[in-house]
Structure 1
Amino acid sequence: MQGETGAALRDRVAQHIQAIYHDSPLGASPEGLAAALLDIMRLPPEQAPPLQHVNHWNQCDAVLITYGDSLLGRDEKPLATLKRFLDENTDRLLKGVHILPFYPWSSDDGFAVLDYSSVNEALGDWSDIEAIAADYDLMADLVINHCSSRSLWFENFVKGQDPGRGYFFTADPGEDLSAVVRPRTSPLLREVETSEGTRHVWCTFSHDQVDLDFRNPEVLKAFVSIVRQYLDAGVRIFRLDAVAFLWKVPGTSCLNLEETHEVVRLLRTLVEHARPDAMLITETNIPNRENLSYFGNANEAHCVYNFSLPPLLLNTLVTGDCSYLKQWVMAMPPAQNGTAYFNFIASHDGIGLRPAEGLLSDEELDRLIQAMQRFGGHVSYRALENGESRPYEINIALFDALQGTVAGPDEWGLERFVCAHAVMLGLEGIPGIYLHSLLGTRNDYQRVEHTGHARSINRHQWDLDLLQEALADGDSSHSQVFRRLKALLAIRRRQAAFHPNATQFTLHLGTAVLGFWRQSMDRRQSVFCISNISREPQALNLMDINLIDSHQWMDLIGGEVYGSRDQQLELRPYQTLWITNLPDHC
């Protein structure tokens, strides 16, 4: 690999293209399309490849997830307000920021893109994006499966003009499409009158989100051009939105097809040659085994969203039983160097239930859904092959989701919420924290009523002045959440044992205490992460976690020093300990 030349790179890209288009007419040779893609990416004719299996992250990495207009200030565009808030309030504890689609859009809060090459004027402009990218690792969405039905591309598709003619996937409504897996209950095909007659356009998500047809190489070239533009604007991390649905073959599930995986491999090859520390993250809200397949052999996504974590951790904390979560943690394979899990427990979307399939029983899922509905949450559904529907996600703000247990609300909501984040921050992987979790934002029923969409419950827009007042009030839940989560982030970033690829082993401490052990890559530091996930005090003997007598151990969170390995502790409800032999070892 180290001796690869420009021609060899072209050959490698051509191999990707051959694998993608093996059954589709290209209109050009794979080598010709490869040369065109390299020209779009402005890759030098002779360029050494990047080093393989390199971790472009460490324990300092944590990513804030936010919409561009979640914070609204006076007399400035929201992107400028966002940067000012980050600069003045987060103490540089968040190395990265994922700004959800900041492009002009027509629906789905940005995920029906009108124009990939522009910044939504209501948010700011490219100079605002570049300013954020200059100080933070910027993650941007590559909304690659579909775009808006009101985009220029789709208007041109209807007219039979370029660019757009042949850009969208159509199907015969007479074909058997019953095997297609979808996250929605709306009809899959949308009838459209075009210059070439009636066409039935494929819509995986909504009729305003029309699916692109990557069988047409012009679509691939258009997206490679978009990638190049984002790199030029400072984007380092590309979130491949809904990528699992990308390639369609009627008669199949149209999910996770091999051509889709090959497109991801191609994009990785192009991106990592353009910027060696650039990263691809696949957003694949699907069952766990299928999700993990997007690592490939460390040649696809650098990171995959750990979609099973949110429902499993939520279930753990509202039932007081960590059995299912512990089984999953034990079964998760370590991410090899050059790859990492992207951990999150809340996002702009709901808490997905598909990633819990096969991990939680139907009875457990029903009990969880009922508890969330009692706490003010909504449930979204997806269509099954037989025409029935099945719960797809729970829509609720995480702070409200953790206000109680299956028995009902209680006084432990704040502690339970902080415990959830302490667990996530300790686990192998890179943590992503949703802005509204960092701020302890509650269910926004008014926004749901205004938009008519259940997901809006967790998409509140803060007036910055009101937010600053809430954060300045030391007794407010917002202030307490913000302060305590920042404290955990500050501790985490100083511990080498919390490197995203550091060793992890699960401890067996019963059903009410979740424990796992992290060890730094140089094997000098250990951290035992132990959480009482119940609302009853739990006894813990330090001998149970096999501490070494020759070391002095202390809790990084509470500061307590332990003088004897047979010391008996009592964990308060939802208390987390990070017990280490070598504090602040980086």
Structure 2
Amino acid sequence: MYEQVSHTLLNEILNRIKPEISEQDLRHFYTRLGANFYAIHSLFERLYGDRDDFAEQAQQLVETMAENYIKRPEKLRQLDLARENDYNWFLSQKWVGMALYCEGFAGNLQGLQERLPYFQELGVNLVHVMPIMRCPEGSSDGGYAVSDFRDINPELGTLEDVVALAEAMKQRDILLVLDVVVNHTSNMHYWATRARSGDKKYQDYFYTFETRNIPDMFEQSMPEIFPETAPGNFTWDEEMGRWVMTVFNDYQWDLNYSNPAVFIEMLGIILFWANQGADILRLDAVAFLWKKIGSTCQNEREAHLILQLLKDCCQVTAPGVVFIAEAIVAPVEMIKYFGEDAVIAKECEIAYNATFMALLWDAVATKNARLLNQGIKSLPVKLERATWLNYIRCHDDIGLGFDDRDILLCDYEPARHRKFLVDYFTGKFDNSHARGLPFGQNAKTGDTRISGSLASLVGLECALEREDNAAIADAIKVILLLHGVIMAFGGIPLLYYGDAIGTLNDDSYREDPVKQEDTRWVHRPSIDWDIADRRNTPGTVEYEIFSALKRMIAVRKEIEVFADFNNRELIEVKNPHLFVFGRYHLQKPNEQVLVVANFSKHPQHLNLEDLGSWVARYRPLVDLYRGKSPDIFNNSLVIPGYEFYWLSEG
């Protein structure tokens, strides 16, 4: 869009641009910059326009984009052009992801490259490698306390190893996802050490205060993230003689995005990792980017403006790269991280469907889909060119952040129901075989979250210990049921490493003084590849799970209606144990798939006449996953316990 004020500024910037930039071939860069500059200028002015150095900072912003474009490898520039032409590429049903810790999965980056055939064997073609940047030993928060944003944890390898991994993955058509921690740094980062030494420039990179007056004002409205291990939101730094905002842990200093220099630094870091070959960048803790007295300092309007600006700038330099928003917030807030454009995602194209994850765990515990159905009805519709990451487990805890109104509509009392879920998954409830652990217990609010591997939470660990073959079979069915739902729901299914082979809780973290206070390490295992090799041995648990998921992934990739174009319809049925929804093709009305999931241990039936146009009365149904017809008696579909169907008309 042409707008005189912004383009006058752009002309001034280009007239002053460094010769080492202007002398380069910047044809595509200038085209994209011109197309996006009105939005970039509007956002940058909204955030920083009242500063005396606004023009100087705008100059630096454009030069940062240009310098990173010049450094962008030619193969990645060509990939940008291809993805600009196929702009819905990430909405395809062919993508299936896996999140992993490099060290736990393969030891280091070279080991991960050697394990790429495992992903191809399973059918995974999107791999999220959890944080790999340099962190202080002992105060790393699992990789999220970064001390150098442009270097790698030396135990994992080198930058050259990252580039080699990215190239090897591209040769196998596997997408690489990397983390950028945008909200905070380690207190050992260069910026923090300079601030600690008294450098005013770098003190302004953070929120630092001489007295408790301003921190105390913030504390009146800010919640505590880790009340057990890191109470409060500010830490006194003795050497600096100032209070510093530390929302997560006392060794993680929150960045001050009201300073444009911070924004430009972080943009440069994002573009740096795009240039190393990352296809997708996961932006961590985006809900916390803007701090305001009198608020919770989460989900502020300015945080969204920052993300929009990052996206617009990235579209100029590396338009083939998309963003994941790591914002585990209420659905009404979560949907905003896609952006507020009617069609195009203007912030992050991908976001975690944390509410769906939590609702699935509720269905596992209650053996019914009442809250799952109710919660999905309350999930806002996403933008057309955005998609969810649907997951069962991840590196983090399971939070029970359901809307109290939805819980009440299911005739549960919110506090009692959440206590039941915690008791169930920590094995305190009668007849529960779950082996989870509590995390983040807050004595003030009563809130508790849950740690544990998928296999241990659904009872596989307990069943194996008891050598109970029936219970083992049931646990495997639940694992497959949950994956069958996320594969079909709409979005990118994201498996967690170890889940495809039934990896149990790893209690070794208790022996590590750095990790022993954080129960989340129980589900951050080191893969035993001798055990993993059992996936090729019929009759083993590993084989049963892996071979079923391998087939499930292969079938998913062939079902076009599983692509994510807001083409899902929730179907309410009378049977409370069933979760039923339909997927349909926007251009081909006759192509549709009915998904039916039974969360009860016992067989359930569904009257097909209640499904209206979703099922033709006299046309046979085929379960696409199994390749055969389901059991139907007198027009009632029978769904075995802990089973699911992907039904299409034959």
Q: Same fold (TM over 0.5)?
A: yes
Matched, 1:499 2:526: no
Residue number in structure 1 paired with 2:261: 218
Aligned counterparts of 2:330 and 2:33: Cα–Cα separation in 1:
39
Q: What fraction of aligned residue pairs are identical, expressed as a percent? A: 23
Partner residue in 1 for 2:59: 32
Please state how far the C-alpha of 1:449 moved relative to its aligned partner: 3.9
Q: How far off its partner does 1:64 sit?
A: 0.8
Counterpart of 1:288 (choices 331, 335, 348) is 331
The structure-2 alpha-carbon separation of the partners of 1:163 and 1:486, relative to structure 1 and needing over 3 Å to count, comes to farther
AA partner of residue 395 (structure 2): H
Partner of 2:637: 569
Alignment of 1:437-586 (within 5 A): 437-450=499-512, 451-452=515-516, 453-468=518-533, 470-509=534-573, 510-523=575-588, 524-546=590-612, 547-549=615-617, 551-561=619-629, 567-581=635-649
Instruction: Determine helix, strand or coil for the equivalent of 2:271.
Output: helix
**SS of equivalent to 1:235:** coil
What is the aligned counterpart of 2:133 among 103, 112, 132?
Answer: 103
Counterparts in 2 of 1:4 and 1:22: CA distance versus 1, 3 Å? same
Distance 1:542 1:89 in 2: 38
1:392 deviation in Å? 4.8
Residue number in structure 1 paired with 2:113: 83
Tell me the distance in 2 between the aligned counterparts of 1:566 and 1:40: 69
TM-score (norm 1): 0.89
Structure having the higher Rg: 2
Say if 2:469 is the partner of 1:378. Answer: no
Instruction: Report the secondary structure of 1:210's partner residue.
Output: strand
CA distance in 2, matches of 1:97, 1:163: 38
Tell me, what secondary structure is at the counterpart of 2:153? coil
Tell me how far apart the structure 1 counterparts of residues 403 and 479 of structure 2 sit (CA, whole Å).
Answer: 20
Alignment of 1:96-245 (within 5 A): 96-106=126-136, 107-134=140-167, 135=169, 136-161=174-199, 164-171=202-209, 172-175=211-214, 176=217, 177-185=219-227, 186-194=231-239, 198-245=241-288
Distance in 2 (alpha carbons) for counterparts of 1:358 and 1:424: 24
Q: Which has the higher strand share?
A: 1
Q: Which residue number in structure 2 is paired with residue 13 of structure 1?
A: 40
Counterpart of 2:447 (choices 379, 384, 391) is: 391
Structure having the larger proportion of residues in helix: 2
Query: How many Å separate the matches in 1 of 2:571 and 2:620?
Result: 20
Aligned-partner residue type, residue 492 of structure 1: R
C-alpha displacement of 1:189: 0.8
Which letter does structure 2 place at the counterpart of 1:157? Answer: A
State the Cα deviation string for residues 337-364 of structure 1 (Å, max 9, x = none).
Answer: 2111111111001112235555442222
Q: 2:355 aligns with which of 294, 301, 308?
A: 308
State the 1:163 CA deviation: 8.0
Equivalent residue, structure 2, for 1:366: 419
Shift of 1:486: 1.7
| Contact 2:234/2:245 (<8 A) preserved | yes
Question: Deviations 1:2-41 (Å, cap 9, x if unpaired)?
Answer: 9976345334312111222356665645643543443344
**For 1:198 and 1:290, how far apart are their aligned partners in 2?**
37
What amino acid is the match of 2:206? F
Whole-Å separation in 2 of the counterparts to 1:59 and 1:5: 29
Distance 1:565 1:17 in 2: 64
Where does 1:57-96 land on structure 2 (aligned, <5 Å)?
57-72=91-106, 78-88=108-118, 90-91=120-121, 93-96=123-126
One-letter identity of the residue aligned with 1:349:
D
The corresponding residue for 1:401 is 457
3-state SS in 1 of match to 2:93: coil
Q: So what's the TM-score if we normalise by structure 2?
A: 0.81
> Do 1:381 and 1:390's aligned partners in 2 also have CA atoms closer than 8 Å?
no
CA deviation digits over 1:211-237, x for unaligned, max 9?
Answer: 111122221121111112111111111
Residues matched between the structures, number:
567
Mapped to 2, the partners of 1:276 and 1:511 lie a distance apart of: 45
Does the residue aligned with 1:91 lie in a helix, a strand or coil?
A: helix
Stretches of structure 1 lacking an aligned partner (at least 5 in a row): none
Distance 2:644 2:630 in 1: 15
**What's 1:263 paired with?**
306
Contact 2:388 2:492 in 1 (8 A): yes
Classify the secondary structure of the residue corresponding to 1:118: strand
Inter-CA distance 466–24: structure 2 relative to 1 (3 Å threshold): farther
After superposition, the Cα gap between the structure-2 partners of 1:345 and 1:496, relative to the gap in structure 1 and judged at 3 Å, is same
- Give the drift of 1:522: 2.2
**RMSD (Å) for aligned C-alpha atoms:** 2.9
Q: Distance in 2 between matches of 1:167 and 1:538?
A: 59
Cα deviation 1:442-462 (Å, max 9, x = unaligned): 111222442212110100111
- AA matched with 1:275: A
